[in-house]
Amino acid sequence: MNVFIRRNLLLIIVLAALFGIFAAAAQGMETQDFVITLLRGLSVGSLTFLVASGFSIIFGLLDVLNLAHGTLFMIGAYIGWTVYVRPDTFLDIVIPFILILSGFFLRDVWVSLAMRGLFAGRMKRILPWLGLLIAILILVVILPRYPIATWSVDNYAESPTSISYLAGQGQYILPPPTSFDEISPILAFGGLIMASLVGAFSLSILGGGKQPLQARISWRSFIGFTILLLLAFIIFIFNDPITNALAVLNGNLLFLVALLVAVGSGALLGSLMESTLIRPLYVRPIYQLMLTLGLSAIGIEMVRSLWGRPEFTMPRPELFAGTGEGCPAASLAGWWNYHCSTMILLDGRIRVYNEIFIPTIGLVVLIGVWVLLKRTRLGMVIRAGVQDREMVEALGINVRRVFTQVFALGVGLAALGGVLAAPSIGLSNVMGESFLLNALIALAIGGLTSYPGAALGSLLVGLLQQFIIKYGAIGIPIPYTDLVFKPTPPIVPASTILLMVIVLLILPNGLLGKKE
């Protein structure tokens, strides 16, 4: 134990100092203020952690600084909003999406066809590109004509801003369903399946490498393909009933669906990003930075063109929206009975969604990812790969596939953060940037590739910001004088950077970072 203390003396001193400051800060305010500020800090810390943990795992294993992480956080929020407020749009998009995805289930078939030399030599070089061109052409023709119930960015009454506002007021009115006017359904479906088959074929051959090995045709790929097609047709045929069912579905369940869809789309987006754009750049780190920075800008502009520029809100799920009888709740049981949006805790009034729900999810994710890292084979491979990728590969483990899974996990966590944050802070195109900045500071404080470090850093950043904000309102009396110091808003971000500078001066690898 003595050795432990001697080795970590600086860390212990720093942590003790931080705790001392925290205790001093707690002394300076009323209990109720303190509890509220603490919970708010936990809330911000949780959201920061969702960004920071994914960023840190990706950086640790892949050495990729994903500067698009904040944008992916924001995209998660917008996807979640769409599912939650406009289930009709979501369902309309799902059908072509599934159809385009279906062809990729036959990847093994394409690769083995290519391997059997059905087309050798020059054909093998030209065909994939030709196929890709055809697939893109079909998509360009069909997708704009495919009917999707949507909103209007230009028309204020039909804009996301108005829709959100009305939904928040409980007026959940969906526009009449769209129909196939410009293109016949058979042509649209046939075309999309065709594009998917040709596109998947081309991409499998192009991305298959020189000697694809495991390319036995299994029934599983055909079954997957068929199930997806069936799913698309079922959703198409029962589109209206499903939409209505979703619209009248318990808002809490719909919110859960929105969470899951956002996480799933984030994971999918992440794996696509890694396997197509980032993979060729592992040998060129600077290009990666430029790529992720560029993707971040592209993502923001795409969201602007699809959802519009103005900020809007996402209604809180019913479980956290009650204001009538019995509210604010006196306890968690009261909240559960009346679904109050606020509750009384130690004489202070807190918002249940922001200050209880978000930290709870943050804690669940913290434990969940920790269990994944410590108790599963994937986690073992990740921890080993962070240290020595080459050796992991030499054990017969497909590290590239693990890279894709880790990227998907990281982006999925960011998307979860985004959709969780939306009902609390609202949606805006740049909502991710401040969280990315917070997350980077948190990681610098906690230690770049350390998972507990990400948690500790996020917690410190969240708490520090909220305490400074609170002290901006009540002021800090300066001892032995009559002066009261009130931190102004610009001090809030500056304070976290100051903390980072101090921590890094004392512990250059962050609080829990590994010594190199």
Partner 1 sequence: MDILLDVQGIHTFIGQYHILQGVDVSIPQGAITALLGRNGAGKTTTLKSILGLTPPRQGRVIFRGREIQGMRSFEIAALGIGFVPEHRAVFRDLTVEENLKIAERKKGDYPRKQDFIFTLFPDLKRLIGLMGTNLSGGQQQMLAIARALVADNQLLLIDEPSEGLAPVLIEQLIKAIHQLSADSTVVLVEQNFLVASQLAEYYVIIEEGRSVRQGKMKDLIQDKETIHRYLEAA
Q: Is 387 in the site for partner 1 (CB under 8 A)?
A: yes
Q: How far apart are CA 286 and CA 65, in angstroms?
A: 10
Site for partner 1 in 194-213 (CB under 8 A): 209-211, 213
Stretch that binds partner 1, among 233-241, 253-261, 312-320, 394-402 (CB under 8 A): 394-402
| Binding status of residue 388 toward partner 1 by CB under 8 A | yes
Q: Are 435 and 287 in contact (CB under 8 A)?
A: no
Binding flag, residue 431, partner 1 (CB under 8 A): no
CB of residue 5 vs partner 1: minimum separation in angstroms? 17
Question: Which of the ranges 387-395, 430-438, 461-469, 502-510 carries the binding residues for partner 1, by CB under 8 A?
Answer: 387-395
Cβ 308 vs Cβ 153: under 8 Å:
yes
Question: Where are the alpha helices (H) located in 116-159, listed in sequence order?
Answer: 121-142
DSSP string covering 190-245: HHHHHHHHHHHHHHHHHHS-S--------HHHHHHHHHHHHHHHHHHHTHHHHHHH
Question: Minimum Å distance from CB 396 to partner 1?
Answer: 4
- Considering only residues 51, 93, 386, 459, which one is a binding residue for partner 1 as defined by CB under 8 A? 386
> Is the bond leading into 328 cis (omega within 30 degrees of zero)?
yes
Q: How far is the CB of 279 from partner 1 (least distance, A)?
A: 13
399 is a contact residue toward partner 1 (CB under 8 A): yes
- Please state, in angstroms and rounded to a whole number, the distance separating the CA atoms of residues 351 and 340: 9
Number of C-beta neighbours around residue 229 at 10 A: 17
Q: Does residue 155 bind partner 1 (CB under 8 A)?
A: no
CB 339 within 8 A of CB 318: yes
* Among 184, 276, 305, 398, interactor with partner 1 by CB under 8 A: 398
Check residue 454 for interaction with partner 1 (CB under 8 A).
no
**Structural contact between residues 29 and 474, judged by C-beta atoms closer than 8 angstroms:** yes
Reference 76, options 364, 317, 422; nearest CA is 422
User: Which of these ranges, 82-90, 101-109, 285-293, 385-393, lies near partner 1 under the rule CB under 8 A?
Assistant: 385-393
Task: Tell me if 122 contacts partner 1 by CB under 8 A.
Answer: no
Q: Least distance to partner 1 from the beta carbon of 315, Å?
A: 44
| Among residues 58, 192, 392, 427, the one that binds partner 1 under rule CB under 8 A | 392
CB of 441 to partner 1, least distance (A): 25
C-alpha 420/C-alpha 358 separation (Å) is 7
- In the bound state with partner 1, the residue whose beta carbon lies nearer, of 115 and 344, is 115
Q: By CB under 8 A, name the binding residues for partner 1.
A: 209-211, 213, 377, 380-381, 383-384, 386-388, 390-400
